[in-house]
Structure 1
Amino acid sequence: MADHKKVRSRRSRLVRAAVLSLAGLLVVGAGAAGYVYWKLDGNIKSVDINAQLGSARPPASTDGSFNVLVLGSDSRAGGNASLAGGDTGDTARSDTAMVVHVNQAHTHADVVSIPRDTLVPRPDCVAPDGKAVPGARSAMFNAAFEVGGPACAVKTTEALTGLRMDHFVEIDFSGFAGFIDAIGGVTVTTTVNIDDKDSGLNLQAGTHHLNGGQSLAFVRTRHGVGDGSDLGRIELQKQMVKSIMAQVGGAGLVANPAKLFSVADRLTRSITTDSDLASVSSLMGLAGTLKGIGPNDLTMVTLPVGTAPADPNRVVQLQPQAAQLWAALKADQQVPQSIVSAQPANPADSAAGAASAKAG
Structure 2
Amino acid sequence: MSHATATPSRRRGKAPRRERTRGQRIRRIILWTLLVVVLAAGGTGYWLYSSLNGNIDGVDLDKAIGTDRPEKLPTSGTNVLVLGSDSRAGANAKLKTGNVSGARSDTALVMHIPEGRKQATAVSIPRDTLVTRPECTKTDGTTVPSAKRVMFNSVYSLAGPACVVKTVEKMSGVRLDHFMEIDFAGFKGLVDAIGGVDVTVDQAIHDKSSGLDLAKGTHKLNGTESLAFVRTRHGIGDGSDLGRIGLQQQFMIALLSEIKKQDLLGSPTKSYKIADSLTSSLTTDSELANLKALAEFGRSLKGVDPATMETIMLPVQYDTADPNRVVAAEPQATQLWKALRTGAEIPESAKKSPATGGN
Structure 2, unaligned runs of 5 or more: 1-27
Q: Distance in 2 between matches of 1:49 and 1:179?
A: 26
Asked whether the 8 Å contact 1:18–1:264 carries over to 2, the reply is no
Deviations 1:167-226 (A, max 9, x none): 111110101000000001112222322121211112222332211011000000001222
Q: Distance in 1 between matches of 2:32 and 2:195?
A: 17
- What is the Cα deviation at residue 291 of structure 1? 1.9
* Structure-1 residue corresponding to 2:232: 221
- Of the three residues 136, 139, 152, the one matched with 2:150 is 139
Asked whether the 8 Å contact 1:25–1:32 carries over to 2, the reply is no
* Structure-2 residue corresponding to 1:115: 126
Q: Distance in 2 between matches of 1:336 and 1:306?
A: 18
Q: Match of 1:179, as an amino acid?
A: L
The TM-score with structure 1 as length reference comes to 0.85
- Of the three residues 140, 145, 160, the one matched with 1:129 is 140
- What is the Cα deviation at residue 53 of structure 1? 1.0
Tell me the percent identity: 49
* Structure-2 residue corresponding to 1:102: 113
Q: Distance in 1 between matches of 2:42 and 2:267?
A: 18
1:82 aligns with 2:83: no
* Structure-1 residue corresponding to 2:52: 40
1:323 aligns with 2:334: yes
Q: Match of 1:164, as an amino acid?
A: R
Structure 1, unaligned runs of 5 or more: 1-15, 346-355
* SS of 1:99 mapped into structure 2: strand
- Of the three residues 149, 152, 166, the one matched with 2:163 is 152
Seen in structure 2, the aligned counterparts of structure 1 residues 106 and 206 have a Cα distance that, compared at 3 Å, is closer
- What is the Cα deviation at residue 344 of structure 1? 9.5
Asked whether the 8 Å contact 1:22–1:36 carries over to 2, the reply is no
- What is the Cα deviation at residue 293 of structure 1? 1.9
Deviations 1:107-140 (A, max 9, x none): 3322111000111111111222222111112111
| Farther-moved stretch of structure 1 (225-234 vs 189-198) | 189-198
* Structure-2 residue corresponding to 1:262: 273
Tell me the number of residue pairs that the alignment of Structure 1 and Structure 2 aligns: 332
Question: After TM superposition, where is structure 1 displaced by more than 4 Å over at least 4 residues in a row?
Answer: 26-33
The TM-score with structure 2 as length reference comes to 0.85
Q: Distance in 1 between matches of 2:308 and 2:261?
A: 20
| Farther-moved stretch of structure 1 (195-204 vs 271-280) | 195-204
Q: Match of 2:70, as an amino acid?
A: P
Asked whether the 8 Å contact 2:38–2:49 carries over to 1, the reply is no
* Structure-2 residue corresponding to 1:12: none
- What is the Cα deviation at residue 296 of structure 1? 5.8
Query: Whose relative contact order is higher, 1 or 2, with alpha carbons under 8 Å and at least 6 apart?
Result: 1
* Structure-2 residue corresponding to 1:163: 174
- What is the Cα deviation at residue 105 of structure 1? 3.1
Larger Rg: 2
* Structure-1 residue corresponding to 2:219: 208
RMSD of aligned C-alpha atoms? 2.6
Q: Distance in 2 between matches of 1:260 and 1:44?
A: 16
1:301-316 equivalences in 2 (<5 Å) = 301-316=312-327
Q: Match of 1:255, as an amino acid?
A: G
* Structure-2 residue corresponding to 1:276: 287
- What is the Cα deviation at residue 321 of structure 1? 0.7
* SS of 1:41 mapped into structure 2: helix
